[in-house]
Structure 1
Amino acid sequence: MRVLLVGGSGFVGTALARELHDRGHEVAALSRSPDEADLPAGVETVSGDVTEYESIAGAFADRDAVVNFVALSPLFEPPRGTSHEAVHLGGTENVVAAAEDHGVSRLVQMSALGADPDGATAYIRAKGAAEEVVRASSLDWTVFRPSVVFGDGGEFVAFTKKLTTPYVTGLPGGGRTRFQPVWVGDLAPMLASATVEDGHSGETYEIGGPEVLTLAEVAKRIYRAEGKSLVVLPVPMVLARLGLTVMGAVPGFPMGPDQYRSLQFDNTTADGDASVFGRDPAGLRTLGDYLGVD
């Protein structure tokens, strides 16, 4: 199958490129700077910006399937001059239009747990609105909603370290926000199967890892892997909101009020869909195993 990965030079995109390439499919990775990615030899690279239709449209010719990964991180404020709406919603509108214009039949959309056009953060709202665009299209679509994804090259561990300090740290609400981290090495084969196999059209899959961890538990595992202990002190949520709102107005500061709001709700799924792809949810790789502390 001839597969185009839009945003294919990113963390999950490169993992899927390797998986599809190993399965014998023709893979092309489209992004603004695809040549900088660690992609397997034989994967085609295409330059383009999803917010500009004409820059990406030609890459969709003669493709059997498209996977849309393009996204801004929910963990940090968008770079100046762009927005979640422009990239997630506007970019998805361009991806869908290009696929329809060039006769691509299948689209896999990378979304997020909790995606909702009326959600609490700009990221969640834009992801939800993008899902509506995908579902309204004429394509055979599949939507993936993973929890946070970890692995080599991912940002979840690095973000947690940026948010904390070793030995003693403060976390909003004591770090009670819950996550269900999923390893990229488990997620990529599921994405590949949904892309190249039949039977997934019109489905929305929520994917979480084998354990639910609070942010405090995540931080403790990360520092334990470095041989360091960690005591978490609760920061009242009202103070976290005030601090991130004030600092978010400072040019260059990477977080803002949306990051506070994202800590107000859990990032978990009650009934993950890994079993659809022949995987026992309890058998997926844990964050602790990846860090070497299980």
Structure 2
Amino acid sequence: MRILVTGASGLIGKALCALLTGEGHEVVRVLHHPDTGIHTETRAISLDMARALRPKDWTPYLAGVDAVVNCAGVLQDSAGENTRHVHMTGASALFIACEQAGVNKVIHFSAIGVDCQQPSAFSASKLAGDEALMARRLEWVILRPSVVLGRPAFGASALFRGLAALPLLPLMPDTGRLQVVQLDDVISTVLFFLKPGSPSRLTLELAGPVALSMSEVVGCYRRWFGWNHAREFILPNWTAAILYRLGDAAAQLGWRPPMRTNAAKEITRGAVGDPRPWMTATGIQPSSLPAALRLNPATVQERWFAGLYFVKPALFVVLPLFWILTGIISLTVGWRSGVDLLIGTAAGALAEPAVVAGALADIVVGTLIAWRPTSRLGLFGAITVSLFYAVAGSILRPDLWYEPLGPLLKIFPTLVLHFAALAILEER
């Protein structure tokens, strides 16, 4: 079959494309961002679902397609994401285009519980997308998974691992229970409904066999890592609210933190459902989280990832602040000190312009690192500027190498931090 998969770089979409390709299907991957060229065995289309809002935007890509699997989704509106456009308007345009192009089979991913409560724009737009598909004359299947966990570390799966690595476990207040579902079971479900003659016009909840608290889910991962139980405490409401707002702010800068205000609204509701219709329709027996983890023992890579999970946001807060504040200080209270450092050197005549140029370069580098689309460029810029300071300082003020506070020696740990940030920058 030729199968078009939207959201092909996400947790579900990426795993699905790999399995479909391995089984000999021709996969057309729809990606939000241009393809890196790694998966040359499959065709890739760079198309932002939030901008493909008309059926004709999809029509050119549906020629010869036998089935469509819509895995696209975003957690919250931000500078680069629009929940209604992705979940409803763009998805509806795709469904209409499928109907017009004769692509009858559409498997669509929604979210568990959206038909009961819509506490946020995420669930409200998901439900609207479901209703748009139900109105079409297609062989549709709507899958509403709970929190999907798997071997790949992304989204909630990554967050739970990061929390499991903390010696003290902070718990958000007012969190509901979760019937977490395994990625392998979700992928098996899609494969079942792609088979010829499989049932259609179904809406199924994909939920695990056991409802767990957030603490119990994290505890499963700690045992998987081989670590003892962590001491727990519930964060005050005001602290949790600040953390969610900080997540919102990070999203406006292009980052995708799992802890945002939409997530707060959704986890209060929880993610529980009835898996029996799913099991009856497909014959799949969903695995529990402990059973799934036992089949895949943790490796040193998983432990490294968990330990670095919260180091990453710390790096991308500290490094931009370091560069931006250094520039601001150089232009304000540290102006005289900066100029005096250059007086009497070969660059003494240009001391003031040099301080201004250095300060502006620092501010630009910090801003580039903070903005996710330019963060890689900013990190390389920071490394370049640091090396320039080391060389220029060695020529103009070699005495700074043996100053007690080590202003030039500190360039080396600074460089290491930037290379570490580069190493853990990518999330997919």
Q: Same fold (TM over 0.5)?
A: yes
Higher relative contact order (CA 8 A, sep 6+): 1
| Structure with the largest fraction of helix | 2
Q: Secondary structure at the match of 2:269?
A: coil
Which of 245, 257, 260 lines up with 2:261 in the alignment?
257
Aligned partner of 1:93 in structure 2 is 92
Aligned partner of 1:279 in structure 2 is 284
Q: Structure 2: which amino acid aligns with 1:277? A: T
Q: Structure 2: which amino acid aligns with 1:261? A: K
Superposition TM-score, scaled by structure 1 size: 0.85
Change in CA separation of 1:214 and 1:117 when aligned onto 2, cut-off 3 Å: closer
Report the Cα offset of residue 88 of structure 1: 1.0
Q: Secondary structure at the match of 2:218?
A: helix
Change in CA separation of 1:20 and 1:157 when aligned onto 2, cut-off 3 Å: closer
| Structure with the largest fraction of strand | 1
Aligned partner of 1:45 in structure 2 is 44
Report the Cα offset of residue 145 of structure 1: 0.7
> Any stretches of 5+ residues in structure 1 without a counterpart?
none
Residue 267 of structure 2 is aligned to residue 268 of structure 1: no
Residue 60 of structure 2 is aligned to residue 58 of structure 1: yes
Report the Cα offset of residue 241 of structure 1: 5.7
Q: Secondary structure at the match of 2:189?
A: helix
Change in CA separation of 1:118 and 1:227 when aligned onto 2, cut-off 3 Å: closer
Q: Secondary structure at the match of 2:16?
A: helix
Report the Cα offset of residue 94 of structure 1: 1.9
Change in CA separation of 1:278 and 1:33 when aligned onto 2, cut-off 3 Å: same
> Any stretches of 5+ residues in structure 2 without a counterpart?
299-428
Aligned partner of 1:218 in structure 2 is 217
Moved over 6 A (4+): none
Contact conserved, 1:146 with 1:182, CA < 8 A, in 2?
Answer: yes
After TM superposition, list the pairs within 5 Å mapping 1:1-294 onto structure 2.
1-33=1-33, 35-36=35-36, 39=39, 42-50=41-49, 51-52=51-52, 53=54, 54-72=56-74, 74=75, 77-116=76-115, 119-153=118-152, 154-161=154-161, 166-173=166-173, 176-228=175-227, 229-236=229-236, 238-239=237-238, 242-244=241-243, 246-247=245-246, 250-251=249-250, 252=253, 254=257, 255-272=259-276, 273-281=278-286, 286-289=291-294, 292=297
Task: Work out the number of aligned pairs and report it.
Answer: 287
Report the Cα offset of residue 178 of structure 1: 1.4
Change in CA separation of 1:13 and 1:257 when aligned onto 2, cut-off 3 Å: closer
Aligned partner of 2:407 in structure 1 is none
Root-mean-square deviation over aligned CA pairs: 2.8
Q: Structure 2: which amino acid aligns with 1:15? A: A
Report the Cα offset of residue 55 of structure 1: 4.6
Contact conserved, 2:168 with 2:232, CA < 8 A, in 1?
Answer: yes
Contact conserved, 2:111 with 2:145, CA < 8 A, in 1?
Answer: yes
Superposition TM-score, scaled by structure 2 size: 0.60
Report the Cα offset of residue 2 of structure 1: 2.0
Q: Structure 1: which amino acid aligns with 2:172? A: P
Aligned partner of 2:315 in structure 1 is none
Aligned-pair identity (%): 26
Contact conserved, 1:182 with 1:285, CA < 8 A, in 2?
Answer: no
Of 12-21 and 154-163, deviating more is 154-163
